[in-house]
């Protein structure tokens, strides 16, 4: 088995910096002794023995099964699509259901990438279908157009739900869908007219990744559709999801629809919810995550369900590799190091080099503050945002100068053209790496 030794870190022995002002020890090692670290790592081995020795073969088969079970339970980078693999988020699901069922509102679910919007939308859809709603799910691409997208939705609503069609009539028997009942070119008003004729069911249209649509008229048309559907008390409700810091970023320019819309922010997972995610792995692979391991994963993942799964998965694999049924803090640390290593390796070489150089190390607290400031929504942040994260004792002018230094061509940051001065990390993966590194360094302190 591959034993993962956790080397003592030298963080505390360096007097010039406090631990949280330096990159996590693992990154220092990666950046400064790349040849060493790959040479010292043990070579890969087969997971199971091919021998006919029944007893040890049984053990190996069992272990392999548990590994596969853990991968299936936690390893997916896909959104969760059923309740069985969905952890926590009871409040969010209850709010979403109540907004749709009790208040008959349209809902906008918003939050940063990876926080679980698509998963919530899928589990909500499953729940609504059980209650006999007709749920139509569509993921928006950058090219999305209002009429093509909504014609496709109309094509999934059977004509027998139109109030002009009598049950058992030839039209009802002949099948067909709502798309046959709409003009070739239509706008939100014509569509709302048609959709308000729906009877005998309620329809929920989910527009996932709403923020990705580039066409401004798409958003204007959707706002107009929401307004018209509400005015007509139609039996159709929209659920939009998107990466945004607040509701205004997604629908802010349409004040007339605000009272018909509920905003549902997705919060970081709580410790209890992280525990629930891990419990899915525990049940599948017959493992137990120790409290210390769970705490470590919670801290480093910063409430992201994606990172919880990733680290939970690797920590479980390390434990299984050591033939241990309990995932300890050391297994957790090994997993975090593994994740940081893979993450770093996935960045372009130039970016790795940019992070490793002395200027970046000297400005580590600033870079971490920048990553925090830009961690929600579209990733852009102002000098003020960075100042808030840095805490007291920093001058705006100095911070701006330092940020600008990282915003030269091919460097870590880029500047948004026009308007207020705003920065963003050129590679989104960099801020995640910085945040995980900061959490790791804090734990080592």
Q: Which residues contact ligand ADP (rule: CB under 6 A)?
A: 76-77, 79-80, 86-89, 113-119, 277, 305-306, 309
**Smallest gap, in angstroms, from Cβ of residue 116 to Mg ion?**
8
CB-wise, 118 or 260, nearer to Mg ion? 118
- CB-based closest residue to ligand ADP: 116
80 binds, among ligand ADP, Mg ion, none (CB under 5 to 8 A by kind): ligand ADP
Other C-beta atoms within 10 Å of 396: how many? Answer: 12
C-alpha R_g of the chain: 26
CB-wise, 258 or 267, nearer to ligand ADP? 267
Question: Does residue 263 contact residue 110 with C-beta atoms inside 8 Å?
Answer: yes
Q: Beta strand 203-208 with 326-327: parallel, antiparallel or unpaired?
A: unpaired
309 binds, among ligand ADP, Mg ion, none (CB under 5 to 8 A by kind): ligand ADP
423 vs 415: CA distance, rounded Å: 5
116 binds, among Mg ion, ligand ADP, none (CB under 5 to 8 A by kind): ligand ADP
Element (H, E) at 436: helix 428-444
**Smallest gap, in angstroms, from Cβ of residue 358 to Mg ion?**
38
Q: Beta strand 203-208 with 134-139: parallel, antiparallel or unpaired?
A: parallel
Half-sphere CA count of 312, side-chain side, radius 13 A: 37
331 binds, among Mg ion, ligand ADP, none (CB under 5 to 8 A by kind): none
**Smallest gap, in angstroms, from Cβ of residue 90 to ligand ADP?**
10
186 binds, among ligand ADP, Mg ion, none (CB under 5 to 8 A by kind): none
User: Could you tell me which of 103, 31, 47 has the C-alpha nearest to residue 264?
Assistant: 103
Q: SS3 for 174? A: coil
User: Could you tell me which of 153, 239, 165 has the C-alpha nearest to residue 200?
Assistant: 165
**Smallest gap, in angstroms, from Cβ of residue 8 to Mg ion?**
40
- CB-based closest residue to Mg ion: 118
Q: What is the DSSP string of 72-90?
A: HHH---SPP-SGGG--S-H
77 binds, among ligand ADP, Mg ion, none (CB under 5 to 8 A by kind): ligand ADP
Half-sphere CA count of 233, side-chain side, radius 13 A: 1
DSSP β-bridge partners for residue 138: 207
Other C-beta atoms within 10 Å of 115: how many? Answer: 22
Cβ neighbourhood burial of 274 (10 Å; 0-12, 13-18, 19+): buried
Question: Does residue 74 contact residue 277 with C-beta atoms inside 8 Å?
Answer: yes
CB-wise, 23 or 75, nearer to ligand ADP? 75
User: Could you tell me which of 121, 106, 112 has the C-alpha nearest to residue 236?
Assistant: 106
Find all residues with CB under 8 Å of 389, minimum gap 6, and list them. Answer: 368, 369, 370, 372, 373
CB-wise, 84 or 358, nearer to ligand ADP? 84
115 binds, among ligand ADP, Mg ion, none (CB under 5 to 8 A by kind): ligand ADP
Number of residues in contact with Mg ion, rule: CB under 5 A?
1
305 binds, among Mg ion, ligand ADP, none (CB under 5 to 8 A by kind): ligand ADP
**Smallest gap, in angstroms, from Cβ of residue 208 to Mg ion?**
6
Question: Does residue 191 contact residue 182 with C-beta atoms inside 8 Å?
Answer: yes
- Window 91-130: contact mask with Mg ion (x via CB under 5 A): ---------------------------x------------
**Smallest gap, in angstroms, from Cβ of residue 89 to ligand ADP?**
5
**Smallest gap, in angstroms, from Cβ of residue 118 to Mg ion?**
3
**Smallest gap, in angstroms, from Cβ of residue 306 to Mg ion?**
10
**Smallest gap, in angstroms, from Cβ of residue 117 to Mg ion?**
5
CB-wise, 24 or 301, nearer to ligand ADP? 301
Write the DSSP symbol of residue 325: S
CB-wise, 51 or 77, nearer to ligand ADP? 77
Write the DSSP symbol of residue 231: H
**Smallest gap, in angstroms, from Cβ of residue 304 to ligand ADP?**
7
Q: Beta strand 106-110 with 134-139: parallel, antiparallel or unpaired?
A: unpaired
Residue 14, phi then psi, degrees to nearest 5: -95, 110
Note the residues at the interface with Mg ion (CB under 5 A).
Answer: 118
């Amino acid at each position: 088995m591959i034993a993962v030794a956790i080397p003592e870190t030298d963080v505390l022995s360096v007097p010039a910096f406090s631990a949280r002002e330096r990159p996590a020890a693992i990154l220092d090692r990666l950046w400064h002794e790349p040849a060493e670290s790959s040479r010292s790592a043990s070579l890969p081995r087969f997971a199971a023995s091919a021998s006919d020795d029944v007893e040890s073969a049984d053990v190996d088969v069992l272990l392999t099964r548990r590994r596969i079970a853990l991968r299936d339970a936690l390893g997916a980078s896909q959104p969760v699509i059923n309740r069985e693999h969905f952890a926590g988020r009871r409040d969010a699901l209850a709010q979403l259901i109540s907004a749709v069922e009790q208040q008959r509102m349209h809902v906008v679910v918003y939050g940063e990438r990876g926080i679980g919007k698509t998963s919530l939308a899928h589990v909500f859809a499953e729940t609504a279908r059980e209650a006999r709603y007709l749920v139509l799910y569509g993921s928006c691409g950058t090219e999305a157009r209002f009429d093509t997208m909504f014609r496709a939705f109309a094509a999934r609503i059977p004509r027998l739900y139109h109030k002009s069609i009598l049950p058992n009539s030839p039209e009802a028997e002949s099948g067909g869908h709502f798309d046959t009942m709409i003009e070739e070119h239509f706008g939100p008003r014509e569509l709302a007219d048609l959709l308000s004729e729906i009877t005998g069911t309620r329809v929920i249209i989910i527009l996932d990744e709403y923020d990705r649509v580039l066409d401004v008229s798409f958003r204007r048309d959707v706002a107009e559709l929401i307004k018209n559907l509400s005015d007509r008390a139609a039996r159709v409700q929209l659920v939009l999801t998107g990466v945004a810091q607040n509701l205004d970023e997604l629908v802010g320019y349409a004040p007339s629809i605000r009272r018909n819309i509920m905003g549902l922010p997705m919060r970081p997972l709580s410790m209890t919810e992280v525990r629930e995610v891990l419990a899915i792995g525990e049940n599948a692979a017959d493992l137990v995550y120790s409290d210390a391991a769970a705490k470590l994963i919670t801290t480093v993942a910063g409430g992201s369900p994606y990172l919880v799964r990733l680290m939970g998965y690797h920590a479980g694999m390390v434990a299984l590799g050591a033939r241990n049924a309990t995932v300890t803090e050391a297994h957790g640390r090994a997993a975090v190091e593994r994740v940081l290593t893979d993450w770093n390796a996935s960045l372009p070489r130039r970016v790795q080099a940019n992070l490793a150089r002395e200027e970046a190390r000297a400005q580590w607290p600033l870079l971490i503050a920048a990553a925090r400031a830009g961690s929600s929504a579209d990733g852009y942040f102002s000098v003020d945002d960075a100042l808030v994260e840095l805490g007291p004792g920093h001058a705006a002018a100095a911070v701006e100068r330092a940020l600008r230094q990282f915003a030269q061509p091919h460097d870590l940051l880029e500047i948004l053209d026009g308007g207020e001065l705003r920065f963003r990390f050129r590679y989104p993966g960099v801020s995640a790496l910085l945040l995980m590194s900061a959490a790791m360094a804090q734990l080592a302190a």
